[in-house]
Amino acid sequence: MASKREQLDELNKYWQENCQCELRKTAKQAVFGDGNAEAEIVFIGEAPGKNEDAGGKPFIGAAGKFLNEMLEGIGRKREDIYITNIVKYRPPNNRDPEPKEKEDCNEWLINELKIINPKLIVFLGRHSMTRFFPTEKISEIHGKLLLKNIPELEKKQAFLPLYHPAAALYNGGMRETLIKDFNKIPKALEKLS
């Protein structure tokens, strides 16, 4: 049986060749999920930005630095977690990804999640939240531990929605809320054990 890392490498190789997302035409490269294939937490962001498009890894710009600081605050490192995006290619000028682009990258994401099979999925912002909770508002459910049966994942999955670190970076109130919500991760994991 191939390891989770090997399965992810195989998955990325397949989708890099077969993803039909139109953003491939304007992006420099696909930005694969990154981190520990055995992680118990998976973070899901929106889409790569300029730094990620150039560097080929998710969350390596200012939002990523802020995320690393928050991880340190709960005694974890980037190497302990896995992080990916709803859309694997940078939208031009960092515009929001469109529904069709999300749809075209969806199977890639779902298979990533099935391989890792995390205890907890943390949404970074509304784009990843609405993939699994289409009628909810991030302003109403941020910081709440949610359990939902996800047929595609073939399991009851735990989720923690958070504000996006890029949105919270320069917004004092939202930043404070995000840090407070982020600090709930260890307790949430304990609860799920």
In terms of Cβ atoms closer than 10 Å to its own Cβ (0-12, 13-18, 19+), residue 149 is: exposed
Residue 33 sits in the site that holds ligand URA (CB under 6 A): no
- Residue 46 CB, nearest approach to ligand URA (Å): 3
Q: Chain-centre distance of CA 100, in angstroms? A: 18
Vertex 33 angle, CA 31 and 103, to 5°? 75
Residue 32 sits in the site that holds ligand URA (CB under 6 A): no
- Residue 44 CB, nearest approach to ligand URA (Å): 9
Q: What distance in Å separates the CA atoms of residue 67 and residue 40, rounded to the nearest whole number?
A: 17
Site string for ligand URA, 83-102 (x = CB under 6 A): --x-----------------
Q: Which of 15, 32, 59, 66 binds ligand URA (CB under 6 A)?
A: 59
Nearest CB to ligand URA, comparing residues 6 and 105: 105
CB 181 within 8 A of CB 142: yes
CA dist list (Å): 118 to 51, 61, 91, 181: 27, 25, 27, 19
Q: Give kind and range of the element (H or E) at residue 187.
A: helix 185-192
Residue 49 sits in the site that holds ligand URA (CB under 6 A): yes
Residue 48 sits in the site that holds ligand URA (CB under 6 A): yes
φ/ψ of 157, rounded to 5, equals -110, 145
Residue 166 sits in the site that holds ligand URA (CB under 6 A): yes
Site string for ligand URA, 107-146 (x = CB under 6 A): ----------------------------------------
Can you give the binding site for ligand URA, defined by CB under 6 A? 45-49, 52, 58-59, 63, 85, 166
